[in-house]
Structure 1
Amino acid sequence: MATPLRSNRPIWWSLLSILQILLAIAVVVGLVWTLVEVFFGAQNLVDLPMWHVGPFGLPLVLLVGGLLLGWLLALLSRWFAGIGARRRAAGTGKRLDVAIGEVADRVIVAPVSDVLARHRQTRIQLETAAAGGKR
């Protein structure tokens, strides 16, 4: 029960989480910007600034780029998580093996060794008594 099964969260986990959040924000900003342009810009109700990245407008780049990079990051995260999970499982298995060995020594092996030592001592004493009685 005293063996810790959880390990610390790796640093890359927090960094990828922050990056995922930033990409999600980029997707939401791109989507909202695109929707505002489509619904309100077409009627000249709102005049939002439009920047371009190459031939594409910034809202489309934010939307599509955020989705694609988020998907790629999810795949990489899954791969990294699998590697980390195997490594943590191996470490946890080693800690459990050591803890089980210590408990087995304390609860089973040590008491059995004590009983065997007392039996050995009793046998020696009985052999000595039997040998002394035959003289």
Structure 2
Amino acid sequence: MPCPCNPQVNYSDCCKKAHTDIRSVATAEALMRSRYSAFVLGDIDYLQKSHHSTTRPNKIEKRRIKTWAKAVNWLKLEVLYTSEGSETDSSGTVEFKAYYMENGQMGVIYEKSNFSKENGHWVYVDGVHRNL
């Protein structure tokens, strides 16, 4: 199966590793890609696990995210820019666009996401986003 974050790579060689063991994620960009794939696959538990403990969605928000993620048809991910977020950094930023179809209309989420390390692994903190 192609990986949702990059169809040129097999899922088993890409985001499946992160979904199986979040500690295997080496960079902020890799975490962001694994979160996109989790949205595509409806893996809400991974989205929770990969979210910083101080900004993690509550149970009601988690249900809304799951419902919405499964209601749209995800098309592709485009990484625009990465700042810091390497294996040796403790924080980083990734700017991306995620394309999807919802109710016959194409949508684009543009986000500049902030990541940090918590408990020794990368997590999503927050982001500034807008639908294009």
TM-score above 0.5, yes or no: no
Give TM-score, length-normalised by structure 2: 0.21
Bigger fraction of residues in helix: 1
Structure with bigger strand share is 2
Mark the structure with the bigger radius of gyration. 1
Which gives a bigger RCO, structure 1 or 2 (Cα 8 Å, sep 6+)?
Answer: 1
